[in-house]
Chains A and B, each alone.
Chain A
Amino acid sequence: MNASKTLEKTLVASPERKLEADADLAVVRQVQAGDVAAFDRLITKYRERVVGIVYNMTSNREDAADLAQDAFIKAFQSIHRFQGQSSFFTWLYRIAINSTLSHLRKNRLRAFFSLEAIREEDPVSKEVIDALTDKTGVGRDTFVRELQEKLNDAMQKLSINHRTVVTLFEIDGLSHQEIAAVMDCSVGTVRSRLHYAKQLLQAELQPYLPK
């Protein structure tokens, strides 16, 4: 029963997301009717998630800020073309991811990483760090910094599409169906990419995964 619920959550968008999409559509209609200030609500609502996705794909803080801003501006400029056939956040994510993929393809040979600090306010993250530092016995800050770099290296070894799938599913928490809609591919493709990406990450991060 519990497993089936988890499976359903990974496959299909949750009812909360649907309610959220309806609320977004109402705001979008206001913007389309000429209420430009209503778009600020959408920016405030989605800026952290969009920046988080772009940041985890580029591993660069400045690039993430610029690309996220460009994604919002593109969405604002073409919001009159949004007809509500998909949810607004799916549409916005698609714009952001396409911009990011284009940026990464252009600057494939030029990669500068500027990582954000891990906020330990999240209890799960704090417990993971606690468990790992206890086992290794190394200084906490040094270990967290090293782990962060290893994670970043492992992510950068993935192809752009695999990295995008992992980012959307594991970090942002989208379902397979939503990822397929955002990346304009089938759900099967999403699953196979996710499986392959996890295998690679598992191999890269083996020292941090005790048997």
Chain B
Amino acid sequence: MKPDSDQKITLEDLLRLKRAERPAPEFWVKFDADIRAKQLSAIVSRPWWDGLARGFTFMGRHQMPLGAAAALALTWVGVQHMATHQVASPHIVKLSVAAPPAPAPAAERVPSPVQLEMGPRLVVDAVARAEVAPAKPAMAAVSSHLVKAPVSLPPDVAAQSPFSDGLAVTFADYRDQAPAAVRTAVFGSDGDFETMAAPVRQTISDPLAQVDPAQERRARLLDSALPANPRAMVSDWIRSRSADDRIYESLDHTSDHLLTGIRF
């Protein structure tokens, strides 16, 4: 709007004068110096929450990529974990296979070479796994071992008794030491026994069953002297009741007939 003497001056024209109120050039020199100092001060001394606010702003702006990256990372970690688990599993399976398939009492009575070489912790693990996984074949092996013997024990009792295998081993020891007459009375003739027991022994794939009885006894004695004794898994009451000496003393050596009495 261009006012002249003939034209009215409006409110807008007067306010236009306010627009013309401008500072001198020196003002801007000082203004620039001050604002630069304040800017440097702001850069140097940022508040502690500034980084947090920046982080939240960044996350808010990149929600989708961050979420996808997190999901990818979780997937990768999961795959890595599974791969590690699968690599570690064969060792466990190997231990389970190497451990005796018999139930725990048999395993503790005759420690296998694997048990002697393994630490106590591994033995416990192996026994625990053997109890859980292959219980059925182990029971079958033990029951077949006993049922084939002439001693008339019910198969279910033999299978359920925790020290049944111990009895079988003790009888085998006694058979080596007792006179031939007694052995014949108890077990029948050697020929009969051997013909009945040989197939069973051959079919047994248990490495513990293939160990020589003398070696078993030596291992048993050594086992009691070892500090890390797997027998700790069995209660003392059962161990005392099933001791070899008690069974041996219960036999009547004077008579022609072998009388056994096991007291519990």
Contact = CB atoms under 8 A, between A and B. Distances in A.
Contact of B34 (A65, A124, A155, A202): A65
A147 B9 CA distance: 13
B31 A118 contact: no
B17 A36 contact: no
Nearest to B19: A171
B232 interface: no
Contacts of A198: 11
A40 to B, nearest CB: 8
Interface stretch (B35-43, B167-175, B206-214): B35-43
Chain A, interface residues (CB within 8 Å), range: 35 or more
Interface in A17-44: 36, 39, 43
B19 A43 contact: no
A119 B42 contact: no
A210 B57 CA distance: 57
Chain B, interface residues (CB within 8 Å), range: 35 or more
A125 B16 contact: yes
Nearest to B56: A81
Which secondary structure dominates chain B's binding surface? helix
Given A55-B21, A69-B34, A209 B15 contact: no
Interface string B1-45: 111110011111111111111111001101110110011001100
Given A80-B57, A209-B14, A69 B2 contact: no
A44 to B, nearest CB: 8
Given A69-B35, A131-B9, A124 B21 contact: no
A201 B10 CA distance: 11
B17 A151 contact: yes
Interface in A152-211: 155, 166, 170-172, 198, 201-202, 205, 208-211
A70 B4 CA distance: 42
Contact of B15 (A55, A76, A119, A166): A166
A157 B57 CA distance: 42
A170 B9 contact: no
A48 B20 CA distance: 12
Most chain B CB neighbours (cut-off 10 Å) among A39, A68, A77, A155: A77
Most chain A CB neighbours (cut-off 10 Å) among B13, B35, B43: B35
B31 A77 contact: no
Most chain B CB neighbours (cut-off 10 Å) among A70, A80, A198: A80
A41 to B, nearest CB: 13
A9 interface: no
Given A36-B43, A127-B4, A209-B10, A48 B19 contact: no
Contact of B9 (A39, A76, A122, A132): A132
Interface in B39-66: 39, 42-43, 46, 50, 53-54, 57, 61
Contacts of A69: 31, 34-35, 38
Most chain B CB neighbours (cut-off 10 Å) among A73, A116, A128: A128
A47 interface: yes
A90 interface: no
Contact of A119 (B2, B3, B21): B21
A167 B23 CA distance: 17
A56 interface: yes
Interface in A38-76: 39, 43, 47-48, 51-52, 55-56, 61, 65, 68-70, 72-73, 76
A208 B10 CA distance: 9
Interface of A: 36, 39, 43, 47-48, 51-52, 55-56, 61, 65, 68-70, 72-73, 76-77, 80-81, 83, 115-122, 124-125, 127-129, 131-132, 134-135, 147-148, 151, 155, 166, 170-172, 198, 201-202, 205, 208-211
Given A47-B35, A125-B20, A131-B9, 4 more contacts: A65-B31, A69-B34, A119-B22, A134-B5
Interface of B: 1-5, 8-24, 27-28, 30-32, 34-35, 38-39, 42-43, 46, 50, 53-54, 57, 61
> Top 10 nearest A-B pairs by Cβ distance?
A125-B20, A170-B15, A116-B21, A69-B35, A122-B20, A118-B20, A119-B22, A128-B13, A131-B3, A73-B38
